[in-house]
Amino acid sequence: MSTKKRKVDSECRVFKDEWTWKYFFTAFKDKPLCLICNETIAVYKEYNISRHFISKHKNANYGAMTEDERKQKAEDLRKKLSGQQSIFKKVNSSQKAATHAGYVVAYNIAKSNKALSDGEFVKHCMLKVCDILCPDKTKDFETVSLSRKTVISRIEVIDKNILSQLESRIGQFKFCSITMDESTDINDTAQLLLFIRGVDENFSITEELACMRSLKGTTTGITTDGAQSMTGTKSGFVGIFNQEYPENNVVFLHCVIHQDALCKSALDMKPVLDVVVKLVNAIRSRGLTHRQFREFLDSMQSEYSDLLYYSKVRWLSAGRVFERVWQLKDEIVSFFQEKQWSVECEMLEDTAWLSDFAFFTDLLCHLNKLNVKMQGKNQFIDDIWGHIRSFKLQLVLFADQLAKNDLSHFPRLNSIAPVMKDKLRSYEDSLRRLRGEFERRFQDFSAIEKDLDVFSMPFNVDCETVKPDLQLELIELQCNTQPKQLFLNVPKLEFYKSLSKSSFPNLISHAQKVTAMFASSYICEQVFSTVKLRKSCIRNRLTDEHLTSLLRISASQFEPDFEKILEMQSQFHSSHSPS
C-alpha cells in the first residue's frame, strides 16, 4: 500500500519572530536565512533552524549570550544584511541607468545621421562638462559605454524594437499602400527601398520604412517613372505582379513627381540649355575665372554671389540655373567684355535666342512651383492630383493668352517685348505639347479621378457616376445640412472620423482607402539622400544590415520603447574605463 507524499507547501508553515533572536534567522525570499553565515534552510521548521544553529554557531559565543544580548546582536546582523542588499540594488540601478543613457545616445546618433564613432566623442564631451558642473558624478558618467561596437549593437536592438512596433501597427491597418524606388550606393550596389503607408479604423496614418534590399544582380522592373520595365505586360513589375496574382484589386500609380519631371521632355529646350550650361561651365570650371567672377559680382553689389551648376537628375536644377543666369545676364556680359571674351556671351545679345531663353525660364519657374507643391511627406493623393489638374488648366490658359499676345504670366518674356509672331506661335505649340504630355503620363490618375473626387468633395459629386455601393450613402450625406457645414469647417480626416459608422460604412471605408494611398516616391528620394550621407567614399564599409537599421531609425515616426528594451536585457554592463 503506497503512502501519499507529503507536500511541505501545504503545511502552511510561517516564520516566527522569536526565531530571529533565538537562532539568528530572518525570512528572506520565502526561506529562513541565517544572519551569521547567510545560509538558507529549505522550510520554516523550528527543528531544522535550531539544529543549524546548534551544529554551526553555538560554540561561537552565541549560546552564552543573554536574551537581551541576542536581540541586540540579531538586530545588528539584520541591519548589516539590509545594508548589503541596498548596496547591491544601488549598483544594479546605476548600471541600468548607464545602459539606458547609452541607448538614448545611440538612438540620437542614428536619428541625426551622425557617425557611429561619434559616441566616443560625445562621452569625452560629457566627462569634460561633468568635471566642471558636477565633479562628484564623474564615475557615473564614466560607466556609460559609448564605444563604436556598443553603439552599433544598441542601434540593432533599437531597430528591432521599432520594427516590432511597425509589425504590430500593420495588424491594425484597414488599408495600406507601398511605394518603392531603387538607386545605387557608392559601391554601385542597387538598393531597393520599400515604404508602407497604412490607415487604421480611426484614420491614424502610419508611414514607415518596411525594408531595404540590396539587389546584387539584374534589377528588372524596379522603376517608378512609367518606363517599360515598370509597365510591361510580362517582364515589367506590374506584369509580373499581375501574373502572380491575376485577380488582384490593386491600384498601380507612378510617382507624380517623376512624371512631372519627365514631362519636360516634350519641350525642345536643348538649344537654349546647351548655351546656358556652356556659359556656366566657362566661368565655374576655371578656378581663376570663377574667383574673378565672384569678386566682380561683389564689386557690382549684385543680389547673387555665384552661378549654379546644372544637374540633370535634380528635379529643380534646370529652372534654378536658368533663373540665376537670367538674373545675372547683364553682369555676365560685362564680365566677358571686360576680359575680352565677347564670343562666349554673344548669344546673350542675340534677340531671338534671348526670347527663347526668357520663355523657357518663365515656364520652368512655373514647373518648379508645381514640383515644390508636390514634395513633402504625409500628403494626400487627392491634394497632389488637384495640383496636377490645376497646372493642366494653367497650360491651356497660357497657350490661349500667348495666341492673343498676352504675356501676363511670362514676366521675363514680357520684359523683352515685342516678341515676333512666329516665336509666339512656337511657344504656344510648346505649351500645348506639354499639356498633351501631362495628359499622356497621368492616365493612371485620370482612371481613379472619380474616386478621388468622392473623397475630396463628396457634396459636389454626381451620385449617378460613382460606384453603386456609395450612391445611397452619398445621397443621404448630401441631403443632410449638418455634415456639410462640418465639412467646410474641419480638415477632411476629422470630417470622416465624425461620420456614423453605422450610417456611412462604405463611404468611411472609401475614405480610408484613399487616405492610405501614396502619390509619390518622395519619401524614398529623401531616404536616398540619407544613404549618400551614410555610405560615402570615406564610409563605404557599412554593411547592408547596419545601413537598414540606421535608415529605419532616422526615418521612423516611432519612438523606441527603452523600458521594454531594458526589461529584455538580462545583464547591464558598464564601461570599464573612460573612452
- 310 & 439 share domain: yes
- 358 & 390 share domain: yes
Which of 481, 516, 551 is the last residue before a domain boundary? 516
For residue 528, pLDDT beyond 90: no
- 437 & 486 share domain: no
Taking the CA atoms of residue 349, residue 352, residue 353 and residue 358 in that order, the dihedral angle to the nearest 10 degrees is 100
- 398 & 315 share domain: yes
Beta-bridge mates of residue 177: 197
Q: Give 102-138 pLDDT, tens digit per residue.
A: 999 999 999 998 888 899 999 999 999 999 998 888 8
Q: Give the pLDDT confidence score for residue 571 in this predicted structure.
A: 61
Q: Give the pLDDT confidence score for residue 223 in this predicted structure.
A: 46
- 319 & 409 share domain: yes
> What Cα–Cα distance (Å) separates residue 334 from each residue in 322, 323, 339, 533?
18, 18, 9, 39
Give the residue among 3, 5, 2, 25 at the shortest CA–CA distance from 15. Answer: 25
Give the residue among 528, 525, 523, 532 at the shortest CA–CA distance from 557. Answer: 523
Predicted confidence band at 2 (pLDDT cuts at 50, 70, 90)? very low
Residue 186 included in any domain:
no
Q: Give 496-516 pLDDT, tens digit per residue.
A: 999 999 999 999 999 999 999
Q: Give the pLDDT confidence score for residue 9 in this predicted structure.
A: 46
Tally of domains in the chain: 3
Residue 372 included in any domain:
yes
- 292 & 340 share domain: yes
pTM, two decimals, is 0.75
Residue 113 included in any domain:
no
Report d(CA 514, CA 456) in Å as an integer.
10
Q: Give the pLDDT confidence score for residue 229 in this predicted structure.
A: 40
Q: Give the pLDDT confidence score for residue 425 in this predicted structure.
A: 94
Long-range Cβ pairs for the range 118-126 (8 Å, 24+): 119/146, 119/147, 119/148, 119/150, 119/151, 119/579, 120/146, 120/147, 120/148, 120/579, 122/146, 123/578, 123/579, 124/579
Which of 392, 426, 448 is the last residue before a domain boundary? 448
Residue 319 included in any domain:
yes
- 300 & 430 share domain: yes
For residue 81, pLDDT beyond 80: no
Q: Give 182-198 pLDDT, tens digit per residue.
A: 888 877 788 889 999 99
What angle is formed at CA 526 by the lines to CA 305 and CA 274, rounded to 5 degrees? 45
Residue 286 included in any domain:
yes
- 443 & 490 share domain: no
Q: Give 12-23 pLDDT, tens digit per residue.
A: 577 877 777 777
Question: 91 Cβ partners below 8 Å, 6+ apart?
Answer: none
- 386 & 336 share domain: yes
> What Cα–Cα distance (Å) separates residue 143 from each residue in 95, 123, 126?
7, 10, 12
DSSP assigned state of 183: E
Q: Give the pLDDT confidence score for residue 217 in this predicted structure.
A: 65
**213 membership: H or E segment, kind and range:** strand 205-215
- 336 & 475 share domain: no
- 365 & 492 share domain: no
Q: What is the mean pLDDT of residues 323-342?
A: 87
Which of 430, 448, 466 is the last residue before a domain boundary? 448
- 417 & 502 share domain: no
In single-letter form, the type of residue at position 266 comes to A
Residue 125 included in any domain:
no
Q: What residues make up the domain containing 336?
A: 262-448
103-107, 372-376, 407-411: the lowest-pLDDT one: 372-376
Residue 267 included in any domain:
yes
Give the residue among 509, 495, 549 at the shortest CA–CA distance from 200. Answer: 509
For residue 331, pLDDT beyond 80: yes
Residue 536 included in any domain:
no
Predicted confidence band at 87 (pLDDT cuts at 50, 70, 90)? very low
DSSP assigned state of 344: G
Give the residue among 373, 370, 420, 423 at the shortest CA–CA distance from 394. Answer: 370
Predicted confidence band at 220 (pLDDT cuts at 50, 70, 90)? low
Question: 212 Cβ partners below 8 Å, 6+ apart?
Answer: 191, 192, 193, 194, 544, 547, 548, 551
* Exposure string for 352-377, b = 16+ CB within 10 A, e = fewer: eebbbbbbbbbbbbbbbebbebbeee
Gap between the terminal Cα atoms of the chain: 71
